[in-house]
Amino acid sequence: MDEAAAGTQGAHRVPLCYRHPDRETGVRCTRCERPICPECMISASVGFQCPECVRAGSGTGHPPTAAQPRTIAGGTLTSDPRLLTKVLIGINLALFLVQTSLGDRFTDRFELIGQAYTPLLSGVQGIAEGQYYRLLTAMFLHGGYAHILFNMLSLWWIGGPLEAALGRARYLALYFVSGLAGSALTYLLAAPNQPSLGASGAIFGLFGATGVLMRRLNYDLRPLIALLVINMVITFSPGMNIAWQAHIGGLVAGVVTGYAMVHAPREKRTLVQYGTCAVVLAVVVVLTLVRTAQLT
């Protein structure tokens, strides 16, 4: 490490990753003890190793076949660790363009609504009428330019680093179970004729999982907590017309699923991680069926 990098690291109470000097980390390579961030962590039999130590241990200059590079959650390291975040943002933006082009008729057909008469669609619409797809489609619709701008910025800032830490499959599972949990709680608790839409439930799930990950890595949680508090104040402010149920449902699902992702025992990691996702989805199904029974 050069003198400038060493001086920068010494000025911080929390060590900086030796490959990414702008990233604080509380984790060190178990072989050379250099600080490593989630992007540089490679699962070893005990703890995590840096890429150089893994290559050196293989004796060939490449990671050994039995110990392929893994993220902290056991996912596969990729050349573009933010790819899925970019794809999700692209899908949200594309559907927003469709909304602005086709108007309210398109939005009314796919937003989350329990049960209500919709004049544009000429009849009673909603999840209680068997339109369960609304639990999913509402996650990709937005109510205006400010709404989608705020959500997509949040998705980029929070989702990108989390995708790099978890790996693509686990990140995508977390995103969808959090979003669906937010939709299910909204369906259960909100008035049946109250429409709801937006990626906020999924994004709050990413917030929750990020908090769990930062705790696992001994990062300073105060900036994240401050950001979450600001979001909660906005969520519950009078006159904001925000579906707080989606935020709370997504946050709780994100914390639960995120904990399973980063704390699952290595020998049963995949089973615990995806088993937890299945449990959360089962809760989503139960909440949905209970509310449907109430409305029908």
Residues belonging to the active site: 200, 247
Strands 116-118 and 48-49: unpaired
Other CB atoms closer than 10 Å to residue 103's CB: what's the count? 11
C-alpha 21/C-alpha 117 separation (Å) is 57
Tell me how long the chain is.
296
DSSP state of 35: B
- The Cβ of residue 100 has, within 10 Å, a number of other Cβ atoms equal to 13
* Other C-beta atoms lying within 10 Å of the C-beta of residue 225: 12
Q: Which two tokens stand for residue 193?
A: 């004729």
Extract the tokens encoding 233: 């104040």
Angle at 153 between CA 148 and CA 157, to 5 degrees: 150
Nearest Cα neighbor of 24 from 118, 195, 161, 116 is 161
Element (H, E) at 252: helix 244-263
**Quick check: 245 and 232 in contact, CB under 8 A?**
no
Burial class of residue 62, CB neighbours in 10 A (0-12, 13-18, 19+): exposed
Rounded CA-CA distance 246/295 in Å is 19
Structure tokens at 155: 């998705």
Cα-to-chain-centroid distance, residue 83: 14
How is the chain split among helix, strand and coil, in percent rounded to 5? Answer: 60, 5, 30
